[in-house]
Structure 1
Amino acid sequence: MATTVHAATLLRQRHDGEPVPGWGVVVTGDRIAAVGPVDDLLGAHPRARVRRWAGTLGPGRVHDGPLPPAPTPRERVHALFRVGATAVLAAQIDEPGLRAVVERSEVAVLAVPGSVPLAPGGRADLAVLADDGRCVATVVAGRLVHRRA
């Protein structure tokens, strides 16, 4: 399994947490292996791929409303990735075609709204947000699914 260190200008372990400079997240497969100071992570994982992001790295967003309109279910799911969403509410994906794309894309489906903090052993659902709130990158279950050009 490939290991990646995601490092950003700031890191929030929780959506409502204080941002910490110089920290990152180690992702192996679809799981978070470690969270901590980037220098420590790089020392512990010298062969890891390193992705450096400008912005604040944190948990992926939970999209709690109807999915954005688009011509196809696939485009509706990709619209979520462009805003840093890695999870949706089950009540919002009642169409069979949309449900299939959500499952294939490994988007988390939640019964109720909630946020999962970045912690070792947790699913690697991450978002990097610029200072203006726009999404720079989205990682779903360890896979980079969106990167702003």
Structure 2
Amino acid sequence: MLTLHAAPLLRTAPDAAPVAGAAVAVRADRILAVGPLAELTEAYAEARIRRWPGTLGPGLLHDGPLPVADTPRERVHALLRLGVTAVLAGHLTDPALRAAVERSDLLVLAAAAPPTLAPGGRADLAVLGADGACLVTVVAGRIAHRRA
């Protein structure tokens, strides 16, 4: 399914200046385009539009031990609630934890790399509220967390 994710502000990278009125076009697990919402709406007229409050940007990289919780699944869910879509392999020494991460489709990276939103890239997105809290996490094109 083709989806346009739009928010009042969009960042293409963690350190990029926010842009108003922009969106990300996503099909399956890939980003098709990033640009002004009006242009993407015209180019992808058949797309479903998801409008989120806050700032839309790339999913976050977690560079540290995973949060403590009773089960590996709960540890992964704690990351999703933060907007995390990638973790470093060095923090996944427990096979059960690594399996939970892989089932969730989080990226497992050998080394830290800054996340970006770019056409052709994997559709890993996070929407952060004004207070910095994660409102939505999209992993490989699917909503993995949405704050009620």
Q: What TM-score do the two structures reach when normalised by structure 2? A: 0.98
The answer to whether 1:42 aligns with 2:41 is: yes
**2:23–2:36 CA contact under 8 A, matched in 1:** yes
* Percent identity between the two aligned chains: 62
- RMSD of Structure 2 on Structure 1 (CA): 0.7
Letter in 1 for 2:107: A
Q: How far apart, in 2, do the equivalents of 1:27 and 1:94 lie?
A: 32
1:116, 1:67 → 2: CA distance? Answer: 19
Tell me, which stretches of 5 or more residues in structure 1 are unaligned? none
Contact 2:14 2:116 in 1 (8 A): yes
Partner of 2:20: 21
Residue 47 of structure 1: how far off its partner (Å): 1.4
Structure 1 equivalent of residue 112 of structure 2: 113
Q: Summarize the alignment of residues 1-149 of structure 1 with structure 2, pairs less than 5 Å apart.
A: 2-149=1-148
> What amino acid is the match of 1:111?
A
> Which AA in structure 2 matches 1:106?
D
Counterpart amino acid of residue 64 in structure 2: G
- The amino acid of 1:46's aligned partner reads A
> Do 1:59 and 1:115's aligned partners in 2 also have CA atoms closer than 8 Å?
no
Deviation at 1:116, TM superposition (A): 2.4
Secondary structure, counterpart of 2:97 in structure 1: helix
1:10–1:56 contact (8 Å) kept in structure 2: yes
Q: Which runs of 4+ in 1 moved over 3 A?
A: none
Q: CA deviation at 1:28?
A: 0.4
Q: How many residues align?
A: 148
**Structure 2 stretches of 5 or more lacking a match?**
none
TM-score, scaled relative to structure 1 = 0.97
Partner SS state of residue 6, structure 1: strand
Please state whether the residue corresponding to 1:40 is helix, strand or coil. helix
